[in-house]
Structure 1
């Protein structure tokens, strides 16, 4: 069957576009994009969309200017609207020019779509491009969804990116171009074997085709099966996440652990990806799962992205942006406590130390505390590893152990404040536990009576 007839049938089955759609066609003047443009022009008026040609002059080769003149003449002759972008030499990077050029092209295509009120971008990726991408992904390793390679349709900018030639091999496009006397330009850099994709194109795939003449078609079949498998995976993962996460997007560890290891990995990866932690290595995910399921590790913090950290807090997992500007908290860290002054703690409540109980209003928590002159002045600061709380029986308890026993999350544990005396003895783990100081019989005459209280800021706002 002629390629143009196959193309027409493929479009009708795939529901790519209709005659009322405005489509932007990315045309480089290479054989693939020139064939795509010609096939679109040959479509019956009943299904042919409104065509807008987008071309980028990369200014990377002497031939670039000639290619631009050619596509201008072609579009003028065929009465097609053309928009051209010139990539300034000043914007060419010293390294990574291919990736920079790709990003620049797609920014331009998105701009054209917006300006022309088009909802579809068409590119000329074909079956060989798909095979190259799949094999490169397979060689590098990664997640299953990455192995799909190139999607036939995906959201892009203000609409969708479609690749209607993806089922056709390169040689069919070239044959069509020759038989229909199309003119195109070859990019000689496509033959440079220092580029990874070119090695797959000119060395790896030809060898595989010698083993199986239908290699490209077979790989295309795997591509379709992978798309379905990933779609079902995503559906399962979303259903599980709906059951395992609460309104704060915290993940229930117990319920997660009831899944098989493979399903647990799938759900965890999907949850991490949705929070912005992308491209995590399989080994890292494996260690993460081991730590999550380790009952002897009730809490931990793991960096999962440059600005994101994963926290395990006993029965749940949650993600926190570690680069966000901290809220106004603990404004008086490591400072001497002045009597009769309120100190804000985590924007939730305030504490104060006063000589008289009447300093505190009715309903505000207040604790009486007798201290010797040698213990004054008091200081408020963050707790330290060696801090110990004096107990009634004469012993001591580490502040860290108190925080563990009270299941204080790691994210808040490091911010915990303590009030200490002049000898660095902990008087109060703020908001959690009081110290005990054995008083002599004559303490009322020698020691100072103080009142340490707190008031809830949220309640006051209400």
Structure 2
């Protein structure tokens, strides 16, 4: 069992799951998985300088043992000097208990991350959880985009969520707990047959493991490959969408010729990506049956057709153009003078091309192991853009987890200071920005359309870190000046 601990410490260092100065919030339920994770992280704290640990516990008050588990954690953390944050779930839902409980937990975790400046949330999801999640995803929707299961790390709460046990089988955690006398509680609800995960865990997984003892390793490899595949696919589809999509206030227009020139599989994933953009921009869902109906209509070669969607929306083919929009506008003439709107979303920890000559990223900061100075990992920046001109700005601790990049609109205003607000058009005038450059500029907003900056001209004070902020991310905007 010492091998498990040594492997955990080694992998954590290699993958930079923690670093000197890390402030780690550990989600602890009291079960074997989270209690083992907590004790492993206590080893990290004992061997790594300035790693700070705290525990977050949600008492769902669904079982008689809940109060005993809460009391035990209070005593455990008090004895070891570990800060403990507890929240009780008071307003229990009538239905959808599992999903509601998850939303409650993560809302609590996010609040703690932001209020107490934690840079990392760690949860105790392990290899068996990954297998169960992948099987459930495949059974529920059969979608390659979600079949890859849980990621080991992702942006969360202004920092990141890390699952350091994702490669470790549950059996190994139980064996470690027995060997080191780790006290934990069994959750009886994990055996209720009405919960789908329990049925998968008890009825489906055991015979699969019996068939092949390497099952967990194989599904772990499959998860990684699917995540790499979908990441690459997302980048390619994003380029296609930027090149061809014309987004207006109430419609999306796509030329049909470049769609039908693709292979059948490429057409499917391209339209699936467009459906994702539609869901983000207009909250309209295109289901798989409707997606295949659109594909068949495109393949038919008919000059005009339509596929009705929920809420009075529709897809329609009009000769050489595929149009998504309200059915009420189907006969309305197209206003050709309207400037198409394009929206690109970027999450913390991600980067993307805005155009052939522009790239933007919200990149995580890490301390140099020698100097301690914070730096951006050069591998996070595409080689192609490294010599381009740039704007590099530390982001405040409360910067949103996702931002939208779009072209300017009439009436856009930017808050330069808490007391000074200007029209974006006035910024252009003050900086004597040529009309051509004004059209190429990007407005950076929150998902609620609050302006955070105008690139490359100005940034709102909401996008500029204060001197007292602990910097987790930087805005890096790279652009190539046209000849």
TM-score range, shorter-chain basis? 0.5 to 0.7
Question: 2:288 maps to what in 1?
Answer: 282
CA offsets 1:17-50 (integer angstroms, 9 cap, x no match): 2121212111101110111111001015436631
- Aligned-pair distance for 1:268? 0.9
Question: 1:20 maps to what in 2?
Answer: 21
Partner secondary structure for residue 84 of structure 1: strand
TM-score (norm 1): 0.66
TM-score (norm 2): 0.63
Question: 1:258 pairs with 247, 257, 261, which one?
Answer: 261
CA offsets 1:300-340 (integer angstroms, 9 cap, x no match): 3531x558543444333344478xxx9xxxxxxxxxxxxxx
- Aligned-pair distance for 1:4? 1.0
Structure 2 distance, partners of 1:18, 1:309, is 50
Cα gap change, 1:54 to 1:177, in 2 (>3 Å): same
Q: What pairs with 1:131-170 in structure 2 (closer than 5 Å)?
A: 131-170=131-170
Question: 2:54 maps to what in 1?
Answer: 52
CA offsets 1:230-286 (integer angstroms, 9 cap, x no match): 122212212222332246453221111111111011111011102216874433211
Cα gap change, 1:193 to 1:33, in 2 (>3 Å): same
CA offsets 1:354-394 (integer angstroms, 9 cap, x no match): xxxxxxxxxxxxxxxxxxxxxxxxxxxxxxxxxxxxxxxxx
Structure 2 distance, partners of 1:9, 1:272, is 42
Cα gap change, 1:73 to 1:184, in 2 (>3 Å): same
Instruction: After superposing the two structures, state which structure 1 stretch, 264-273 or 1-10, moved more.
Output: 1-10
Question: 1:78 pairs with 72, 80, 84, which one?
Answer: 80
Cα gap change, 1:309 to 1:16, in 2 (>3 Å): farther
Cα gap change, 1:131 to 1:47, in 2 (>3 Å): farther
Question: 1:116 maps to what in 2?
Answer: 116
Cα gap change, 1:80 to 1:126, in 2 (>3 Å): same
Alignment partner of 1:412 is 2:329: no
Structure 2 distance, partners of 1:252, 1:108, is 45
Structure 1 distance, partners of 2:255, 2:172, is 53
Partner secondary structure for residue 51 of structure 1: strand
Cα gap change, 1:321 to 1:235, in 2 (>3 Å): same
Structure 2 distance, partners of 1:198, 1:283, is 30
* Aligned 8 A contact 1:57 1:86 in 2: yes
Question: 2:337 maps to what in 1?
Answer: none
Q: Give the number of the structure with larger relative contact order, counting CA–CA contacts within 8 Å between residues 6 or more apart.
A: 2
* Aligned 8 A contact 1:41 1:48 in 2: no
* Aligned 8 A contact 2:290 2:307 in 1: no
Question: 2:320 pairs with 310, 315, 319, which one?
Answer: 315
Which ranges in structure 1 are unaligned for 5 or more consecutive residues?
327-408, 415-462
Q: What pairs with 1:233-248 in structure 2 (closer than 5 Å)?
A: 233-246=233-246, 248=248
- Aligned-pair distance for 1:162? 1.1
Could you say what the CA RMSD is over the residues aligned between the two structures, in angstroms? 2.3
- Greater radius of gyration (CA): 1
Question: 1:30 maps to what in 2?
Answer: 31
Structure 2 distance, partners of 1:3, 1:307, is 56
* Aligned 8 A contact 1:265 1:289 in 2: yes
Question: 1:295 maps to what in 2?
Answer: 301
Size of the aligned set, in residue pairs, is: 326
* Aligned 8 A contact 1:313 1:410 in 2: no
Structure 1 distance, partners of 2:253, 2:157, is 31
- Aligned-pair distance for 1:298? 1.9
* Aligned 8 A contact 1:26 1:55 in 2: yes
* Aligned 8 A contact 1:19 1:50 in 2: no
* Aligned 8 A contact 1:142 1:281 in 2: no
Question: 2:273 maps to what in 1?
Answer: 270
Which ranges in structure 2 are unaligned for 5 or more consecutive residues?
335-483
* Aligned 8 A contact 1:123 1:162 in 2: yes
Question: 2:8 maps to what in 1?
Answer: 7
Partner secondary structure for residue 142 of structure 1: coil
Cα gap change, 1:50 to 1:316, in 2 (>3 Å): farther
Q: What pairs with 1:211-230 in structure 2 (closer than 5 Å)?
A: 211-230=211-230
Cα gap change, 1:59 to 1:307, in 2 (>3 Å): farther
